Amino acid sequence: IAAATLFPLIVTEIAGQPVAALAQKFGTPLFVYDAAIVAERVADLAAFDVVRYAQKALSNLAILDVVRRAGACVDAVSAGEIQRALAAGFRPGFHEPPQIVYTADIFDREALEMVAKHEIPVNCGSPDMIDQYGAVCPGRGITLRINPGFGHGHSQKTNTGGQQSKHGIWHTQLAECVERAKRNKLSIAGLHMHIGSGTDMEHLSQVCGAMEAAALSVGASIHSISAGGGLPTPYREGDKKVDIAAYYELWNGVRERLAAAFGHPVSLEIEPGRYLSAECGSLIAEIRAVKKMGDNLFYVVDAGFNNLARPILYGAYHPMAVAYNENPAESPRPRQQALQQVIVGGPLCESGDIFTQEDGGYVRGRELPVAAVGDYIVIGVAGAYGAVMGSNYNSKPLAAEVLIEKGQVHLVRERQTFADMIRGEHIPR
Ligand code: LLP
């Protein structure tokens, strides 16, 4: 049953390390990241002048460090993400290319202070940001995030274009924003578009035309364009991978035509989150109950949507495998090498806490190997938008995270303690 597929149903190791040993050493739920996969994904995109990692997908400092060593830059959507980038060794400042860029639809007061203090270039996603930035940093070059009027994502909730979306500057307001920038003594040094997350080639390619027209309308102050992120990644057998070479060629064409029109080089950026970090990560959970509810069989595990929210939020599909808990001191338990339909749920007191959801979210059974309490479920492709979207719902601590690099296992985030969880809470006396 563990045939040669991309997503086997039984796994014994992750990045060469036995799953059961990892679970026993670090406890569960446990995120495990394979550094080599992140570095490989950065290398896939080497044709682009700048690979700017959208750290919101997975911002553990150790992962940021892997990304930095692989030669990528980083974006930051908050004061916290700017601080993470700095802590991971990215250099602040207006270098070419800037290693850290603040990309958001608003400045909260802390972020505005931080971009001014650390000289972090900004990508403005609303006209108001132009005025707010101009008031504190006149004379700078900025980039504008444009909403081209259309978008697409793996779910409507991850579509960031079109008039239903709050993201970016509406495309017909571009000329007005160029004027607004001038009034603020800012120049428009680049444009950026990101139409959604987990989209496809057909939709991503439409951005090229919109970018070319928008950049030509601004003119020769443009020195960089960003294709945004949104590259899909396979979550199940048969999911297509993007043809990076073809995608690059489309964008390179835009870049070359703009460079010819402007009479100077134009740098081409790409800003993926999922593509770089989804496949590196697995979430290990222990099966704590196997129970029958009428016709349905449930494996209830110790990870829930407090650890991985994608299934409950988007009805997102994640591959799953069983890892047997073999204790070498005992003789191996007899294993029924058979599959059965199971629903995999978590510990939270909420009916939607089910990992086997798909297609916009209804609970489905999934063929998984027969397993027992004490065995593990390994949820795959859980690097991106996994740990970062974790919460303390039901007072569950944030999970531990482990990075495997060159055969070495590093604990890169300790499991949160109860004391961490209640820090800052006070009972009035
Ligand atoms: N750039 C900008 C401006 C973004 O807003 C995002 C994602 C990215 C780049 C990276 O997109 P990616 O390459 O990862 O698709 N929580 C959702 C995804 C939300 C994406 C938010 N913005 C999920 O789990 O699918």
Which CATH number characterizes residue 374's domain? 2.40.37.10
For residues 256 and 300, membership in a common domain is answered with no
Q: State the pLDDT at residue 120.
A: 98
Question: Is the bond preceding 29 in cis, omega lying within 30 degrees of 0?
Answer: yes
Q: For residue 260, how many other CB atoms are within 10 A of its CB?
A: 10
- Residues 255 and 283 both lie in one domain: no
Q: Is the CB of 165 under 6 A from ligand 1?
A: no
Whether residue 74 sits in one domain with residue 27:
no
* C-alpha distance across the termini of the chain, in Å: 60
Any binding-site annotation on 230?
Answer: yes
Tokens of 401: 């995270």
DSSP 237-263: TTPPPP-HHHHHHHHHHHHHHHHHHHT
Is position 233 within any domain? yes
Does 117 reside within a domain?
Answer: yes
Pocket test for ligand 1, best of 45, 105, 197, 207 (most atoms within 8 A of CB): 197
Tell me whether residue 187 is in a domain: yes
Is the bond preceding 97 in cis, omega lying within 30 degrees of 0? yes
Cβ–ligand 1 distance for 305 under 6 Å, the answer no
Protein residue with least CA distance to atom 9, ligand 1: 229
- Indicate if 137 belongs to the active site: no
The answer to the question of residue 288 being in a domain is yes
Is 103 a pocket residue for ligand 1 (Cβ < 6 Å)? yes
pLDDT at residue 414, rounded to an integer: 98
Last residue within a domain, chosen from 271, 305, 333: 271
Q: Is 52 in the pocket of ligand 1 (CB under 6 A)?
A: no
Element (H, E) at 180: helix 174-183
d(CA 337, CA 1): 7
3-state secondary structure of 283: strand
Q: What angle do CA 325, 329, 334 make, to 5 degrees?
A: 50
Q: Could you tell me the residue range of the domain that residue 304 belongs to? A: 13-31+278-422
> Residue 152's domain is classified under what CATH number?
3.20.20.10
The answer to whether the CB of 81 is under 6 A from ligand 1 is no
> Are residue 180 and residue 59 in the same domain, yes or no?
yes
How many domains does one find in the chain? 2
40 is a domain residue: no
Spacing, Cα 227 to ligand 1 middle (Å): 13
* Location of structure tokens 């996603």: 125
Is residue 41 assigned to a domain?
Answer: no
Residues in the chain, pLDDT under 50: 2
Query: Which amino acid type is present at position 256?
Result: E
Q: Is 198 in the pocket of ligand 1 (CB under 6 A)?
A: yes
Total length of the chain: 429
Q: Which atom of ligand 1 is nearest to the CA of 273?
A: 14
Question: Which ligand 1 atom sits nearest the alpha carbon of residue 57?
Answer: 14
Say whether 428 counts as a known binding-site residue: no
Q: Work out which ligand 1 atom sits closest to the CA atom of 271.
A: 9
Last residue of a domain, one of 228, 256, 271: 271
In a shared domain, residues 129 and 226? yes
Q: Are residues 149 and 21 in the same domain?
A: no
Determine, yes or no, domain membership for 396. yes
Q: Cα 316 to the chain's mean position, in Å?
A: 14
- Cα 97 to ligand 1 centre (Å): 21
Query: What integer pLDDT is reported at residue 179 of this predicted model?
Result: 97
Nearest in space to 361 (alpha carbons), one of 414, 393, 318, 397: 318
User: In a mutational test of the pocket of ligand 1, which residue from 42, 56, 271, 389 has the highest number of ligand atoms less than 8 Å from its CB?
Assistant: 56
345 strand-pairing partners: 300, 354
Pair (328, 233) in one structural domain: no
- Do both 71 and 129 map to the same domain? yes
**235 is known to lie in a ligand binding site:** no
- Domain endpoint, select from 271, 298, 321: 271
Asked if 108 and 225 sit in the same domain, the reply is: yes
Do 24 and 97 sit in the same domain of this protein?
no
* Atom of ligand 1 at shortest range from CA of 192: 3
Distance CA 241, CA 200 (A): 9
Residues 130 and 22 in one domain: no
Q: Whose CA is closest to atom 7 on ligand 1? A: 197
Question: What pTM was estimated for this model as a whole?
Answer: 0.96
Task: Write down the pLDDT at residue 242.
Answer: 86
The answer on 289 and 259 residing in a single domain is no
The answer to whether position 5 is within a domain reads no
